[in-house]
Amino acid sequence: MTVRHHPEDDLILSYAAGSLAESWSLAIAAHLSHCPVCRGQVGVAESVGGALLQDGVAEQMAPDALDHVLEAIAGVEREAPIAVAAPSGPGSVLPPGSVLPKVVRDYIGGDLKDVPWQRLGRDADQYLIETGDGEAQARLLRIRAGRPVPGHGHGGRELTLVLCGRFEDELSSFGPGDLEDVDQETVHKPVAGFGEDCICLAVTDAPLEFKELLPRLLQPILKI
């Protein structure tokens, strides 16, 4: 399995610093279970942050300090895209035989077979994941094989991590471990691949903007 779509630098740095809100952190931690490259990038960012803290002297950061950190993180992918050791901690690797990463299973209380799905129409189901932050909403989505999600735009940022199956939209194709990151500029209509249902972890900080009437009418009930 090759992961082709990764988190943006702001998410990696905030996650490594421990400043990312819980819902966003859940998506990044779940991505790390699939992606040795990003595990290495987080490790570099944590090491740089730890070294700065150990200095113990408050100093003005150089104007290009962030650029140096980002260059070091990018160097992980260039130099060692495969053989990167996973950092210790929950959710850092995908448990054998599991569809859901451990960090997601801990929220669900089990694996995929234990999810109490809520219908979103003929072609999709969701499960709202409770987190302790009020910044964003995390949810599991199950899209029937070969079926589309209603076309929509976004009132804010949306992260969509594929856990199994595939989907494609106007931007690209996404498989297990791939993370799509979109904002208010994006209008798309994801379609699940054929062969198996697509299971995704999605995090949004604003309601979706559906283009069709029926999804808009159901939106307050479904909380999507």
Higher pLDDT, 114 or 81: 114
170, 180, 173: which is closest to 211 by C-alpha? 170
Confirm if 73 and 45 have CB atoms less than 8 A apart: yes
**Residues 43, 176: Cα–Cα separation, whole Å:** 22
Note the pLDDT tens digit of each residue in 9-41: 999 999 999 999 999 999 999 999 999 999 999
Helix, strand, coil content of the chain in percent (nearest 5): 35, 20, 45
- Per DSSP, the three-state class of 77 is helix
Note the pLDDT tens digit of each residue in 173-200: 999 999 999 999 999 999 999 999 999 9
**Residues 142, 220: Cα–Cα separation, whole Å:** 19
The pLDDT mean for the chain works out to 82
pLDDT of residue 83: 26
pLDDT of residue 55: 53
Helical packing angle, 9-17 and 65-79, nearest 10°:
100
Q: Is the pLDDT of residue 1 over 90?
A: no
Q: Which domains can be identified in the chain, with CATH numbers?
A: 109-222 (2.60.120.10)
Q: Is the pLDDT of residue 127 over 80?
A: yes
Percent of the chain with pLDDT over 70: 72
208, 212, 190: which is closest to 153 by C-alpha? 208
Q: How many helices (H) and strands (E) does the chain have?
A: 6, 11
**Residues 211, 187: Cα–Cα separation, whole Å:** 9
pLDDT of residue 113: 92
Confirm if 152 and 209 have CB atoms less than 8 A apart: yes
Within 10 Å of residue 158's Cβ, how many Cβ atoms? 22
**Residues 150, 211: Cα–Cα separation, whole Å:** 7
pTM of the model as a whole:
0.79
Half-sphere exposure at residue 43, Cβ-oriented, CA atoms within 13 angstroms: 18
pLDDT of residue 85: 32
28, 59, 57, 60: which is closest to 45 by C-alpha? 28
197, 23, 174, 22: which is closest to 115 by C-alpha? 197
Note the pLDDT tens digit of each residue in 106-124: 999 999 999 999 998 889 9
Under DSSP, the state recorded for 82 is S
pLDDT of residue 158: 96
pLDDT of residue 88: 40
Helical packing angle, 65-79 and 36-55, nearest 10°:
150
Q: Is the pLDDT of residue 221 over 70?
A: no
pLDDT of residue 211: 74
Q: Is the pLDDT of residue 95 over 80?
A: no
